C-alpha cells in the first residue's frame, strides 16, 4: 500500500486493536491520516468504522470495559494518543468531534460555541465574542444567527444545529476534526451545506469522516478507507478506491453487491 507524493502525516494508526469487553471490534488496523486532507471511512453497518473514529479522541474511555491495543501516533509531536500516560482530556482538546445526530446543548447559540473556550478557562468577554464569531463564520452559520446569538440553540433547524456543532468544535482550533456520519439525520439540502463546509474546512484542519453514503465519500474526501468486520480492507486515494479497487470485497461494496 505504497502511495507516493503524499502530504505530511497528521496521524497514523499502528496495529490498532480494540475490544468492547471480550469482543474484538478492531483488528490490527494500520492507516495513515494525511495533514489537511479529508479521509473518509466507509463500510457496512457494524464494520467498526465509528469505533475506529471514536478511538482518535478516546471517547471509549468514558465507558467501562473498553480496551485499546496498539498505537495512534499523532504528529508533529509523535504522541501516542492511546498511551495510558496521555490524558484523554488532553487528546480531546486537540481532536474535535461532530456527532451523528446534532447535539447542541440546551443553552444559547453563543454559549454552545463558547463552551470549549470556557472549559479552557477563557472568560474574557472580548476574546470570547471574537472567537465565537470566528467559529460561527467557520461553521458557515454566522450570517444566519448573528442577530440572535442569545436564542436557544434548539430553535435552529437540524442542519443549522449540525453547523453549530461544527462551530463548537472549531472554536478551540482542533488539529484533527472527527465527523461521525454528520449528515445521516439531515435532509439533502442541509447535507449539501455540510459537505461544502467540509470541503472548505480542510484548508485549516485535518478531517476524518465516517459515512454511510458512498457518493458522499466520493464527493468530499481525498482518501478513502474501506472497513469490513473490524478490518481495514483497503486504503487509498478516493478516486483510485472508487475507480479501480484492488480488493474484491471493496469492489463488491462499492458496486452495491454487498452492504
Partner 1 sequence: MQPLTTEQIRAVIARGKLKDTIFKALGLFCLSIGLLVIVALIVDMFIKGSERFTLDFFMNFASRRATQAGILSAWVGSLLVMLVTALAAVPLGVAAGLYLEEYAKRNWLTHIIEVNISNLAAVPSIVYGLLALGIFVYQFGFGQSILSAGLTLALLILPIIIVATREAIRAIPAMIREGSMAVGATRWQTCRYHIIPYAMPGILTGVIIGLARAIGETAPIITIGALTFIAFLPPVPFTGEPPAGLFEWVMSPFTVMPIQIFNWTSRPDPAFEVNAAAAGFVLMVMVLSMNAVAIYLRYKMRKNIKW
Interface residues with partner 1 (CB under 8 A)?
A: 57, 59, 62, 64, 89-90, 92-93, 96-97, 99, 101, 103-106, 115-116, 118-120, 152, 154, 165, 168-169, 172
Neighbours of 120 (CB within 10 A): 11
What the block records as the C-alpha cell of 233 is 480492507
Residue 21: phi, psi to the nearest 5?
60, -120
Q: Which CB, 115 or 142, lies closer to partner 1?
A: 115
Q: Which CB, 174 or 236, lies closer to partner 1?
A: 174
Compute the least distance from the CB of residue 135 to partner 1, in Å.
Answer: 11
Compute the least distance from the CB of residue 161 to partner 1, in Å.
Answer: 11
Compute the least distance from the CB of residue 80 to partner 1, in Å.
Answer: 18
Rounded distance between C-alpha atoms, residue 179 and residue 157, angstroms: 19
Residue 4: phi, psi to the nearest 5?
-90, 180
Compute the least distance from the CB of residue 176 to partner 1, in Å.
Answer: 12
Q: Which CB, 162 or 238, lies closer to partner 1?
A: 162
What the block records as the C-alpha cell of 40 is 473518509
Q: Which CB, 20 or 115, lies closer to partner 1?
A: 115
The residues facing 98 across adjacent strands are 179
Q: Which CB, 94 or 237, lies closer to partner 1?
A: 94
Compute the least distance from the CB of residue 230 to partner 1, in Å.
Answer: 22
Rounded distance between C-alpha atoms, residue 227 and residue 231, angstroms: 6
Q: Which CB, 177 or 233, lies closer to partner 1?
A: 177
- Nearest alpha carbon to residue 208 among 187, 194, 222: 222
Compute the least distance from the CB of residue 20 to partner 1, in Å.
Answer: 15
Amino acid at each position: 500500500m505504497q502511495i507516493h507524493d503524499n502530504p505530511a502525516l497528521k496521524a497514523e494508526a499502528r496495529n490498532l486493536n480494540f475490544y468492547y469487553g471480550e469482543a474484538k471490534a478492531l483488528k490490527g488496523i494500520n492507516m495513515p491520516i494525511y495533514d489537511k486532507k479529508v479521509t473518509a471511512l466507509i463500510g457496512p453497518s457494524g464494520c467498526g468504522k465509528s469505533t475506529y473514529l471514536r478511538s482518535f479522541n478516546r471517547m471509549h474511555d468514558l465507558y467501562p470495559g473498553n480496551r485499546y491495543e496498539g498505537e495512534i501516533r499523532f504528529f508533529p509531536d509523535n504522541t501516542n494518543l492511546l498511551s495510558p500516560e496521555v490524558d484523554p482530556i488532553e487528546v480531546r482538546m486537540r481532536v474535535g468531534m461532530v456527532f451523528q445526530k446534532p447535539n447542541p446543548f440546551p443553552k444559547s447559540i453563543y454559549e454552545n460555541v463558547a463552551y470549549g473556550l470556557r472549559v479552557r478557562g477563557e472568560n474574557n468577554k472580548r476574546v470570547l465574542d471574537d472567537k465565537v464569531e470566528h467559529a460561527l463564520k467557520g461553521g458557515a452559520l454566522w450570517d444566519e444567527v448573528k442577530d440572535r446569538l442569545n436564542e436557544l440553540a434548539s430553535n435552529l433547524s437540524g442542519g443549522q444545529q449540525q453547523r453549530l456543532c461544527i462551530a463548537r468544535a472549531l472554536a478551540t482550533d482542533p488539529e484533527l476534526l472527527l465527523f461521525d456520519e454528520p449528515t445521516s439525520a439531515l435532509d439533502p439540502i442541509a447535507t449539501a451545506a455540510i459537505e461544502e463546509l467540509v470541503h472548505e474546512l480542510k484548508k485549516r484542519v485535518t478531517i476524518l469522516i465516517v459515512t454511510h453514503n458512498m457518493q458522499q465519500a466520493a464527493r468530499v474526501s481525498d482518501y478513502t478507507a474501506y472497513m469490513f468486520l473490524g478490518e481495514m480492507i483497503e486504503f487509498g486515494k478516493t478516486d483510485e478506491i472508487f475507480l479501480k479497487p484492488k480488493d474484491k470485497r471493496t469492489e463488491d461494496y462499492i458496486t452495491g453487491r454487498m452492504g
